Structure 1
Amino acid sequence: MSNVQKTNTLEEKQYLLRFRADSQSHLHVLSHDICATGCPDKLCTLFCPGEVYKWEGARMAVGYEGCHECGSCRIGCPHENIKWEYPKGGHGIVFRLA
């Protein structure tokens, strides 16, 4: 008996990345006031490869569902204002192994 998972569609066979988002974010902006007043360049909107952080109105929005789990936000925020955790087991980015 084989443990190989069969795919049913062409899209499933061709994927390189998939995201299995949890219902709760694993990324948290600790203080939105720091983003609004202390970070005029909004650096997290520049260095995140998944473009997870977006400045919307007067608040930083976090689209955690597309996080690549690289950790750049954990080290890139000059104010240490982003709390990054691993997603709960079975959630997050899924890489296809070729």
Structure 2
Amino acid sequence: MIQIEEKLYQNRYRVDEGRPHIKIKNRETCTLCYDKSCTVLCPAGCYRKNETEEVTLITDGCLECGTCQIICMEHKNIQWEYPRGGFGILYKFG
């Protein structure tokens, strides 16, 4: 059975250095979030909890699905836009 990581590895991502298309607006707001759903529901695993339970974001590999915006609707703490042309996810199959 193929693992999700193996499928994600099939995709390529062109990083726009110094210009991430997703940002956490206020890190302090993330501390108010009870379950930190973004760390579980992001299909690319861009959001993670570190050892102090803070949410970290690594945009490399983002699938540009917008799930994080929907999950964070209550706090509206995600600034999300599509990457500039030529950057972002490059799907190998599809």
Q: TM-score, normalised by structure 2?
A: 0.78
Cα distance, 1:45 vs structure 2: 0.5
Q: 1:80 pairs with 76, 80, 94, which one?
A: 76
Render the CA deviation track for 1:5-52: whole Å, top value 9, x for unaligned: xxxxxxxxxx8411111112111111111101x102111101100010
* Unaligned residue ranges in structure 1 (runs of 5+): 1-14
In 1, Cα distance between equivalents of 2:83 and 2:26: 21
Distance 2:48 2:13 in 1: 19
Unaligned runs of at least 5 residues, structure 2: 1-8
Summarize the alignment of residues 20-39 of structure 1 with structure 2, pairs less than 5 Å apart.
Answer: 20-23=14-17, 24-36=19-31, 38-39=32-33
| Superposition TM-score, scaled by structure 1 size | 0.75
| Number of residue-to-residue matches in the alignment | 83
Bigger CA radius of gyration: 1
